[in-house]
Amino acid sequence: MAQETLKPLEKKLEVTFENKDLLRQALTHRSYLNEHADLNLGHNERLEFLGDAVLEIVITEFLYLTFTEVDEGSLTSWRASLVNSKMLYATAVELGLESYLYLSHGEAKDKNKKSRQYILANAVEAVIGAIYLDQGLSVAKKFILKFIASKMDDILENSAYLDPKSRFQEKAQEQRGVTPHYEILEESGPDHAKTFVVGLYLEEELITRGQGSSKQEAQVAAALAGLKKLAW
């Protein structure tokens, strides 16, 4: 990818890189190097490692200074909701990062949504690392506050800092005055690849079913479906 084609991305990031190769490296997946051994760049995993640390300290400081009356337990939960892969993936989509990624032909054709979300979430951290190295902490902090910390209001409004099971339980107790429970309805497949179907109940009422490769995964799927069904 020619460097000049990164200009639209720099505009979205609101950062003009001194060293364009840092941004290119942040967008380079390990798989790309397998097909381009002559590329004079590394993959983005070291930048991702750095960006993860920068992201965590900036978000920690933001929460500490913004929510002065909130205990450390809640702040830890809120921080996790801002720096998790789901939130970073949403940021990647907002920035249109996918069209700038350097991927192998096989990886580019892979339609596995989970895998692509993971790659994009990691790329956001790598971009943060690149911004930090190229422009310093103040510019990296400005980027993080605008594109990630700004989502805190929505997270609090929707209780998104709670996992789906906790959110469903909180709503069930608030709306119905009961505590939900889960029952395994089906279990199939060999031991190394089992599939579980779990029912989510409020007292004797079956609200929804959820399926997963573990009981926990099936319960989370059921809770998500329950939140959607009851518009909670």
Question: Catalytic positions, please?
Answer: 52, 125
CA 171 to chain centre: 24
Cα–Cα distance, 221 to 200 (Å, whole number)? 10
Contact 124, 92 (CB under 8 A): yes
**Phi and psi, residue 41, nearest 5°:** -140, 155
3-state secondary structure of 143: helix
CA 172/CA 230 separation, integer angstroms: 10
For β-strands 181-188 and 205-212, DSSP reports them as: unpaired
Measure the CA angle with vertex 198, ends 196 and 199; round to 5°: 160
